[in-house]
Chain A
Amino acid sequence: MIPKKIHTPLADDVIRSLRAGDEILLSGVILTARDAAHRRLFDMLKRGGRIPLDLRETAIYYAGPTPARPGRPIGACGPTTSSRMDAFTPALLESGLAVMIGKGDRSPEVRRAIKKHAVVYFVATGGLGALLSTKVKSSKVILFKELGPEAVHRLEVKDFPLTVAIDSKGNDIYDKAGWKKQ
C-alpha cells in the first residue's frame, strides 16, 4: 500500500475519506499531550472554562518526548498508550478536537464518540522513538511547561508515518487484526 500524504489541519472531507487500516504520512503541526496535560485540560473544561488551545485546528499526539540534543529539534518521540486518555477524550471531542494520534485500542465510549463526531484516531508504531524523531522538524513547549516531559509541545512534522486505527464511521482496525479484542 502506498501511504497517502495528508496535511494538518485536516478538512472534514479528508477525515471522512480515511478508512481504518489506511497508511498515511502526516505533515504539518501536531500538539503533544499525555496524562497530566489531559487531566488539566479536562478540569478546565469541567469548570466551564475555555482551554488555551485551538482544538479544531490541531491534532493531539499522545507522547512525551525525550529532550533534544543540541542542534536537534527533538529526542525520541514515539506514542504512548492511548487508553489512559480515554476518560478525558469524549469531552475534548465535544470541544472540537478531530484528530488523535497514539498507540493501542480505545474504550467503547471513545469509539462511539469518534463515530458521533466523525473524527479520526491514528496509531503510530510504539517504540519507534528514534526513527520518528527524524520526521520532526521543530518542537516548542507551548503549555504547562512545569510538567516537563508531559508539557504540551508544538511539533512540526513532515511525513510522519501513521495508520488509521478508528475512522469517522467507527470502523476499528483492531476488529480485523486476527485476534479477539477483550
Chain B
Amino acid sequence: MRTVDTAKVRKAVEELCLKANFELRKDVLRALRTALGREKSARAKGILRSLIENARLAKAKRIAICQDTGMAVVWMEIGQGVRFTGGSLRRAINDGVKAAYKKGYLRKSVVGDCIIRRNTRTNTPAIIMTEIVDGDRVKIEVSPKGFGSENKSRIKMFKPTASLREIKDFIRDVVMQAGPDACPPLVLGIGVGGTFETAAVLAKKALLRPVGKHNLNKSLAALEKELFDEINALGIGPMALGGRTTVLGVNILDYPTHIAGFPVAVNVSCHATRSASRTI
C-alpha cells in the first residue's frame, strides 16, 4: 500500500483549476493555428486570430480565458494500491476547487439546486468522477466546463441495427442546433456504447484527449475523421458566421454495450476546451 495525503490532492486540484482556466491547452491552440491557415474569409480569420490573442493574454496576465470558468469536473484515476490519509478525499477536492476559484478570481457559477438557484459562492461542489485502476498512482485531471456549450449536448438511444449514416446525421444535427451559442469552433466529445449514463460520461471524458489524437480502434478513428470533414464542410464556421472551421476536433470513446442497444452521447465543447492533469 502506498499512502497519499489528501492535502496533496487538495493542492493539486487547486493548481490544476488555475492552470486549466489561464492556459489554453497546447493541442487546442495548435488546432486554432492550423484552422487559421485553412480559412479563406476575412471574418473567420479575424475571429481565429482574436482567439489566439485571447489565449496569449490570458496566460500572460492570469485572466481567465473565458468568463464562464465552468463547473469544475474532477477526474480521479485511483490506483488500487493507494490508501488515502489526512481526512476526507471529497472534502480535499472541493477545498481545492474553492481555493482556486477564490485566489484566481474565477467566476463562481454553481447554484445549490435547480429550483431556488442560490449561488453557493464557492463554485463547489465539484463534479467528481472516480475510477479504480491498477497500480499505486493517483491521476487527477480537472476540466472546467462552460454551459454555453454544455447546454447543447445531446444523448440518443439508437436501435442496434442503426446505420453509421443515422449516427452521423444525429451528430451533425447536434452541431447545427448548437449554432452560434456553443462558441464554435467546437470540440466534440462522443461516447458510444455502454448504458445511458456510460455514454454520457465517455462523451465528456473524450474531451480530455488531445485534439488531433485519434481513437486506437481503426474504425472509430475513421469515423472521427469522416465526422471532422463532413461537419467542417457545413460552412458554419467560427462563431457560426461562416467558414471552414466548425470543429477543431472530434474525439470518440467507446465501451461494450447490450445486444438491444446503441447509445450515442455528444458532449459539445467550445474553442475554450480546458483541462489540466497531474499524477501523484
Interface residues of chain A, those whose CB is within 8 Å of chain B, are: 1, 36, 63-69, 75-78, 80-81, 83, 103-105, 123, 125-131, 133-134, 147-150, 161, 163, 173-174, 176-182
Contact = CB atoms under 8 A, between A and B. Distances in A.
B68 interface: yes
Given A69-B105, A81-B148, A103-B181, A75 B236 contact: no
Closest 9 CB pairs of A and B: A126-B183, A130-B58, A178-B242, A76-B67, A178-B235, A76-B64, A104-B180, A104-B181, A130-B63
Contact of B65 (A68, A76, A177): A76
B187 to A, nearest CB: 12
A108 to B, nearest CB: 14
A75 B239 contact: no
Nearest to A176: B242
A127 B107 CA distance: 14
Interface in B37-91: 42, 47, 50-51, 53-55, 57-58, 61-69
Given A66-B106, A182-B179, A127 B240 contact: no
A128 B272 CA distance: 9
Q: Main SS of the interface on chain A?
A: loop
Contacts of A123: 180, 239
B204 interface: no
A66 B236 contact: no
Interface of B: 42, 47, 50-51, 53-55, 57-58, 61-69, 105-109, 117, 119, 121, 148, 151, 176-177, 179-181, 183, 234-237, 239-243, 270-272
In terms of DSSP, what is the predominant structure of the interface of chain B?
loop
By CB atoms of chain A within 10 A, which of B50, B55, B63, B236 has the most?
B63
A127 B147 CA distance: 12
B181 to A, nearest CB: 4
Given A80-B68, A178-B235, 15 more contacts: A1-B42, A64-B68, A64-B107, A66-B64, A75-B105, A76-B64, A77-B67, A103-B148, A125-B51, A128-B50, A148-B119, A163-B241, A178-B242, A179-B234, A179-B240
B62 A69 contact: yes
B63 A133 contact: yes
